[in-house]
Structure 1
């Protein structure tokens, strides 16, 4: 298996105009105040005692499950740190971190409106879920010089410093994940026919690009059918019927919409088509997707990961997982076992941001970006062996390394071979 570096429900009651503030934080003044004693003018959203982060993410609608997790994890992380007294920044001041989160329902127009509402009162935007929603305010954030960092999209544009100087993605770019799938399949000793269903946008195209790059020249791999769907579709039965007729024994399903993945799993079984599946990391939850979809009917469900799964018995006593689950319940208002990996990812976002804060010598967005882009080989809490946070490589997100895992009926186990 290649490990290459190329590669809801405690908060759900939040409304579309929700502003979620971590409890236990005290405001030390307006965000635009001079936190440096006059030496350097502070950027908006930071004072001598507080720093405020903004999030626009889906807290309602079809993607509310993972969207809620993007708030819960980072809220829990900084809630825990605030309760310990705050974070000591590189300028010698100790600050608590506040979170203002707004619901965009995975609607780009709402995401842009949320950004407009938040931009003058927050220090940076972070953690929000979705390619179209993050793209909706990307150019505005660039023009306003507002950091839009460690966001939950695999779109490569967020890691291109020339195109997006104030941006940085957190999760592996789509091409990383697609390539990891292709590497594993190409290493198989058997011949395979592949069918592909991908979202008709940069998300789906990125997965397909990475997969094709990895299998190019592999004589044992034949892509026999490719179809698309729209993120706004409510069903993919027609596509599944056509793909089943292809005779493929491997299915690359680059889908981001949870209900559609479940219905695709169910439709394949109705058609008596049981190929091995490759699923993106963000739509491969055992409890929220695979079990309702009847994934046990298939010879193998494969996905990629860089974070420990708290549902896995292998991590039940892991110190990182124990601390995370405790904080998620106490400070993130999320009492249940998280069904989506986005809860773990946003916890890791909090830890990565803390690294940058500790190296900030001035209370400015510019200095923050310099500190953030200087993190190398950081083993954030919950990271799997073989993965790390590295923000120093232009064109890559904070996390670019993944491991391929196979569903075992309750969770995932890392695999070295396909089959």
Structure 2
């Protein structure tokens, strides 16, 4: 069989539009599924009576589903194609919404989230691989544009989640279970263009692909792992911990805290829309250094300034937003014939870091709280614990910048800057 050497579909403009709809709407739904948890987590914690350590463990254990999906998705793509993998990912996310709705205990909820994260992991790999194959020109701009839709839904997700949890339907309040059911059922929408479209690259011959052994020997891949791991911990942790921080540290209402999370994602979304061309102009590696450093500085400034500086938590989204799509753009340019392998390798290791990151935030928060609380569950001990835990998020952004500097230095010495 002849190898498919084109990244854009050769068949028709209609097919390309279906591919774009799969990517853009897919990221839109992905953003909803990932970021309704901000307002939901305090309710889940209260309903199931979980402490901060259990909460961090819950998020970490459920991230294992995401990690597991990362390990087998590339193989599935090669065996059954991106189309089938995309349909499977969207379908598993919809089914997980039903299971979350029926969850009334910690173990059942963990299992339901585990399934949702498997769908999320498969979807993220699938969309990233599809994007790497079809975005040949202005890669940084197009990658940021596709991830813009993730940021767009992430912006409104906390407000929608917070609002829906107070809605009564047939005499019953939706609460967090009903919200997850409604939002995750939206996964069925992008199944339509995914089903109707044809996807490029699946016919690439095995001998034409860059093998994993060759990719794993490239020092750049390990630097990318470091940059992406620290960057994604700093990005994803905000969705899980910012609302919790604002409600418990400053006594904010659920709606006000959700509003600040939405402000973070508004900055996040606009940055991806505006800064994509900047990454193409000044280079991927330099962009990573500057943007992640800005995010880390804003986060620490917000913590040190106190409640009056809380807006800096939102502004930090400007810096962290371009990290993931810029890494994907760099991978797409550097590993054209092995993008699926490179993306899977990097994202899998990033998943390990994400699991550890949520665990560390929970452990740091609980540990510092106990150290300063004197047996009390609120007051100065809790505040110091929350500040220390959130400070870890800012630290990861700064470590992302440091790792990006070493990446920039390595590529510059070899004349490989992109």
Q: TM-score, normalised by structure 2?
A: 0.28
Task: Flag the structure with higher strand content.
Answer: 1
Structure ranking higher on relative contact order (CA contacts 8 Å, 6+ apart): 2
- Structure having the larger proportion of residues in helix: 2
TM-score using structure 1 length: 0.28
